[in-house]
Amino acid sequence: MLTFKFSKSAATQAAAYALRQAVFVEERGIAAEIEFDEKDTDDRLYLVAYADSNLPVATLRLEPQAERTMRFGRVCTRQSYRGHGIGQQLLTAAEKWARQQGYTQGLIHGEVSAQGFYERCHYQVTAGPYDEDGAPVVVMMKQF
């Protein structure tokens, strides 16, 4: 069973960072200096999905934008947990939270390799592809 935790706590940030290190830096080969950027501040809100209450398996970073838009950044799932709908559950939980906070749309800068996943979550390409941090990326939006 999954549990979802929205938090700015050091423990939640550590869980999010560990997942991002494993997925983006080690697995995808993105430089740590690029992966961990100026948006990773002490007051940044993260969402982490936990399996069995203590194992972080998926995460995303919440980045409020103008015009009631919430950007979901650095979305990733632990490799051994992919293909089980966890990423979609994570994104759905983030969207629900954003709606409750008054946001009306979601924004994702997703790698082209993940475009199909985001389309299945009802996001539509609005720009791109273009290079972001060494990977081809598309900008995708969804109205809540």
Number of domains in the chain: 1
Q: pLDDT tens across 19-47, in order?
A: 999 999 999 999 999 999 999 999 999 99
Q: Residue 89 sits in which domain range?
A: 2-143
Give 59's contacts (C-beta < 8 A, 6+ positions apart).
15, 16, 19, 20, 46, 47, 48, 49, 74, 75, 76, 90
Residue 103's domain is classified under what CATH number?
3.40.630.30
38-64 mean pLDDT: 95
Pair 135, 35: CB distance under 8 Å: no
Q: What is the pLDDT of residue 88?
A: 96
DSSP state of 79: G
Please state, in angstroms and as integers, the Cα–Cα distance from residue 55 to each residue in 3, 22, 52, following that order. Answer: 10, 14, 6
